Amino acid sequence: MEQLVGPLRNSGIVKSIRGAHGGYILNGDPKTITAGDVIRTLEGPIVLVESLENEEAAQRELWTRMRDAVKNVLDNTSLADLIAHENESEENTLKEGYMFYI
C-alpha cells in the first residue's frame, strides 16, 4: 500500500493523518483531481508506444490519435465522476436485486 500511497502523497494528491485514527485522505476536491493525475503519478507519462520514428506516417498518425484520445479521457474524468458512476452502479444493482449463482 505504501508503494502506491507514497508517490500520491509526494505529489500532493493525498495527505497522511497521524494518530490512532490516522490514515490517508484526498488532499483536495475530488472534482479537481483527474484519473490522468493519478495515472501519471503512479505510472509516469502516458505513452502507447515507445518510439514512433520508424512507423509509416499513417501508423504514426493513428498511434498519436489514440494516445491523445486516452489522455483526453483520463484528463477529463475526475475522481468525483468515478465516484458518481460507482454510486449509480450500486443504485442500479439495488433496483434490480441481487442475483445469486449456485
pLDDT tens-digit profile of 16-44? 888 888 888 999 999 999 999 999 999 99
Q: Is 98 a residue whose pLDDT tops 60?
A: no
Task: Report residue 91's pLDDT band, with 50, 70 and 90 as the boundaries.
Answer: low
**Which CATH number characterizes residue 82's domain?**
1.10.10.10
DSSP string, the chain: -HHHHHHHHHTTSEEEE-STT-EEEESS-TTT-BHHHHHHHHH-S--S-S--TTS-HHHHHHHHHHHHHHHHHHHT-BHHHHHHHHHHHHHHHHHH------
Q: Is 12 a residue whose pLDDT tops 60?
A: yes
This prediction has a pTM of 0.75
Overall average pLDDT of the 51-74 stretch: 86
Residue 65 belongs to what domain range? 2-95
In a domain, 102, yes or no: no
In a domain, 100, yes or no: no
